[in-house]
Amino acid sequence: MCMVITLPPGEICCFPVGLLVDVSRHFLPLTTLFRVIDGMVASKLNKLHLHLTDAASFSILLRQTPAHAQFNLTNLIAKDPLNFALNKFYSLEQLHTLVQYAKQKGVEIIPEIDMPAHSLSWKHVFPGIIINCSEVASKSPTPENVYALDISNELVYGVVEAILRQVVEVFPSPYLHIGGDEVDENCYLSSPRLVAWAGRHNISSSALTKYFETRLFNMVYKLQKVPIVWQGVVDNEQLPDYAPPHAKPSATRRRLQIIDDIYQSNLADHYAEATVPAEHTVNIDSHAEKAIIMPWKCWKGMALKAALTALQRRHPIIMSACWYLDMNDDWTTYLHNPSLDTAKFNANMSLIYGGEGSLWTEKADHTSAQCRIYPRLGAIAYRLWGVGATLCPASYMSSYGNNLYAIYNSLHQSYYVSSNGSSLHSALSTQCTVRPNTTTSEVQLGLFATQILYSAYVTYHAYLTSRLHIHSHDVAFHLKIVRNREFKSQGEYVPYVSRSQHNSMR
């Protein structure tokens, strides 16, 4: 998965050092994405993972063609009146412009279309495309994410294929992220129609997602792309089976055995006794690349467990665990090194492609996206490029700060301030040398401004502001104050910069 840059008399192979940007929860204008790419260049990152769709919105305006008369793809951008991204989307032409801009900067854009869960935004394409599992969803802390595509409806697969065909026309990356996470199969089981369909097709209740993912994988491979999926398909044992390279076509194929010795799992003639239906099997050429798994759950060791399971099945992985840039932690937090130095990981280093930081935008929009990403992303880039390096080298972060600050100064986008008004790079250097291993708050700017949908939440927010005497627009930081209280006890607050002051700095 490396990006090869040919330079006489040799070439440079750059493995994935990436950034995920969620443009579904809060829409980010094209100008913001251009600046993000500029910052990635300063940070020496080469993969921009665009999370284009989610329950909140579908951010691409697709073409409607005569071949798709049974459904309306242009309705994918339809949104509810209170949606954060109302009337905001990218045209295919705009995305093409973004891809070309990124290419000039040496950045590859990998698109993500999230499914079968996280797909509530698809509901306007045709009636019944989404399973109405409101009772199941009501029990979830994020009910909007539970609603899933009706995998028993053949028209759904026509919609998926039509979407993916238009997406791959715009994004030349050899990889296509297709989501696959947080599927609650109770949503499927709440539909009598789907349960009856599964019975007719001899699909067990525990293999419903696997059926969908298998068809989806085969679809992606036919488009000459390699699928990328979140770790959910591994957690729930829904990862499709790959046919051994020399297997004979038949009604059933034997599953490759998951055995302790991960090297033996390469043997094409090593089978388990259990059989799986042919429709649950992915057929690819022996030289083709298996789907890439992205572990992201950093609690209770779940990401590491998923990573090991994927490696046992000879699937490449890209680590995305714990590096969430929207959490308002200081950049030193992102120098944390997930323990990938065990014997099993080292023995499979060729399958560990790289890693990425993630900016999810439930609590960030275009006014705050960049100050959430930088300078934290520099620490992630340093960790991914400098395997085994010493934590928090002041010289690196100082030069990184100089470079980043110069770029953003030239763009008139000074999104960062320090408590004493000094420049970004000096604040970085001081922060690194004085308190290298603690979470600090010198370089912060909370300008998160979003739509507040519930009056009770507005009241609660006002109460926090009054009670704690903190003047910040950043809701996430308020919650951090309430949870930790350490800042209040130490009398240490994030410096507040008003919107007028911020505008004067631009």
Q: Which tens digits make up the pLDDT trace of 278-293?
A: 555 776 655 568 999 9
- Residue appearing with tokens 């969803």: 137
- 164 near 113, Cβ under 8 Å? yes
Residues in the chain: 506
- 83 near 57, Cβ under 8 Å? yes
- 44: phi > 0 → left, psi -120 to 50 → alpha, else beta; which? left
| From 70-84, 160-174, 332-346, the region with the lowest mean pLDDT | 332-346
**Does 73 or 65 have the greater pLDDT score?**
73
Q: Please, what is the average pLDDT of the chain?
A: 72
Q: CA 135, CA 186: separation in Å to the nearest integer?
A: 10
Identify the pLDDT of residue 244: 54
Hey, is 169 helix, strand or coil? helix
Q: CA 119, CA 87: separation in Å to the nearest integer?
A: 18
Identify the pLDDT of residue 397: 54
Mean pLDDT score, 348-374: 87
CATH number, domain 15-405: 3.20.20.80
Mean pLDDT score, 10-22: 82
Pairing relationship of beta strands 252-256 and 271-277 according to DSSP bridges: antiparallel
Distances from the Cα of 216 to the Cα of 130, 149, 169, 280, angstroms? 17, 12, 18, 11
Measured in whole angstroms, the distance separating CA 225 from the mean position of its chain's CA atoms is 18
Mean pLDDT score, 340-364: 79
Identify the pLDDT of residue 490: 31
- Residue appearing with tokens 């970004």: 424
| From 90-104, 322-336, 347-361, the region with the lowest mean pLDDT | 322-336
Residue 360 confidence (pLDDT) above 60: yes
Identify the pLDDT of residue 381: 83
DSSP 433-499: HHSTTS---SS-----------HHHHHHHHHHHHHHT---S-HHHHHHHHHH-HHHHHT--PPP--H
- 247 near 253, Cβ under 8 Å? yes
φ, ψ at 145 (rounded to 5°): -80, -15
pLDDT in tens, 103-121: 999 999 999 999 999 999 9
Mean pLDDT score, 166-195: 96
Domain boundaries, the chain: 15-405, 415-505
Q: CA 477, CA 330: separation in Å to the nearest integer?
A: 12
